[in-house]
Amino acid sequence: MIRLLDLTLEQLRTQVQAWGEPVFRADQLWHWLYARQANDPAAMSNLPRTLQARIATDATIEPLKPVAQTASADLLAHKVLFQLRDGQTVEAVLMLYDRRRTLCISTQAGCAMGCTFCATGLAGLARNLTAGEIAAQVLYFARWLGDPEAGGTNSLPIMRPAQVTNVVLMGMGEPLANYRAVWQALYTLTDAQGFGLGARHFTLSTVGLAPMIERMAGESLQVNLAVSLHAPSDELRNRLVPINRRYPLAVLLAACRAYTERTHRRLSFEYALMRGINDRQEHAQRLALITKGMLCHVNLIPLNPVRGSAYQPSTKADTEAFLDTLQQAGISSTLRLRRGVDINAGCGQLRQQVQSRDGAG
């Protein structure tokens, strides 16, 4: 069975020719899959019946089945749990804030990095997603936003049809540990003949796999980079983000500098504030010290409390004092608003909830 969304345009051309069709049919099919987000060959009206039938018998399109859905009370965040062909589950969230329609998607079923404050990390890695499984999450929501008739249990508080404006790779998984599939999906989704969302509207978030950050600097797409820092010293980061033992701060920050020097693009550091753990004045001062002079922005994030983890979010006063210290030190920084908390919009949390409800987790 050929999985169409796992193919590059080149591979699709080869496949279409192997089916005895002229090569331009592949470009038409690509347009149906990504520009029109079609997942039924019968709807691809300018393809010959023979090719529609071939696709129906030899290929599959849709790799995802939505199996659970929740919306925040204000209906501005919608989270869907998808089941993949082999039964694995991943989640994605659509957020309707700041006149944007931002999608947060997953790149792995689970994650091997084991960050101690993360619901996904607590459960370990099941497997990498394929390029098609990554792209399909975006296509699913694009269809939903684009269809004024689309029902579902939650109506969206926006005018439809609408389009996805931003995509962040901040769902389950470590994107740079699944490098090839992630970048194939990015090249596919940014292709102007297909989905065509500009690279600058994508943000890849990484735990800090230093060699892969340097590799990413050589890609031709201008995707934004976010690095999950969470601690300003090796001693603390080793405890929160265990991969820090392999790529300690000096190595990570050197890779970040190499990245900004090569790309001339500002990166962001993510820092989830945890009460009494990494939110003291000494941490803020040290964070300012290690990021000083870098082409970067610091995003402070309120921690989403995770079941099975002892970490708590910082108080409002500590959060404000932390931000103030960074800004006084001249570090470009902002506090990200607390959003979607009531639907457990944090990474891996819907899956955790569904699995324990089903008695599986």
Binding residues (CB under 6 A) for ligand SAH: these are 111, 117-118, 170, 174, 205-207, 228, 270, 272, 301, 303-304, 306, 346-347
| 7, interface contact from ligand SAH, ligand SF4, none, CB < 5-8 Å by kind | none
Cβ proximity to ligand SF4: between 110 and 132 the closer is 110
DSSP state of 280: S
Known catalytic residue at 91: yes
Q: Which two tokens stand for residue 88?
A: 């694995």
Residue 273's beta-bridge partner residues? 302
Active site residue: 21, 91, 133, 174, which one? Answer: 91
Instruction: Write each residue from 296 to 335 as x if it is in contact with ligand SF4 (CB under 6 A), else as -, in one continuous string.
Output: ----------------------------------------
Strand, helix or coil for residue 240:
helix
Give the amino acid at 8: T
Instruction: Determine if 121 is a binding residue for ligand SF4 (CB under 6 A).
Output: yes
Cβ proximity to ligand SF4: between 288 and 347 the closer is 347
Give the nearest distance from C-beta 224 to ligand SAH in angstroms. 13
Known catalytic residue at 347: yes
Give the amino acid at 99: R
Q: Which two tokens stand for residue 254?
A: 């050197």
Per-residue burial over 69-84, b if 16 or more Cβ lie within 10 Å, else e, is ebbbeeebbbbbbbeb
Cβ proximity to ligand SF4: between 114 and 305 the closer is 114
Report how far apart, in Å, the C-alpha atoms of 100 and of each of 30, 77, 95, 269 are.
26, 12, 8, 21
Q: Which of 47, 84, 115, 226 binds ligand SF4 (CB under 6 A)?
A: 115
Instruction: Determine if 111 is a binding residue for ligand SF4 (CB under 6 A).
Output: yes
- 279 within 8 A of 233, measured Cβ to Cβ: no
Helices of type H across the chain:
9-18, 24-30, 49-58, 119-123, 131-146, 179-190, 210-216, 234-240, 249-263, 281-291, 316-328, 349-357
Q: Which of 94, 135, 182, 207 binds ligand SF4 (CB under 6 A)?
A: 207
Active site residue: 115, 118, 256, 347, which one? Answer: 347
Residues that bind ligand SF4 (CB under 6 A): 111, 113-115, 118, 120-121, 173-174, 207, 228, 347
Catalytic residues: 91, 347
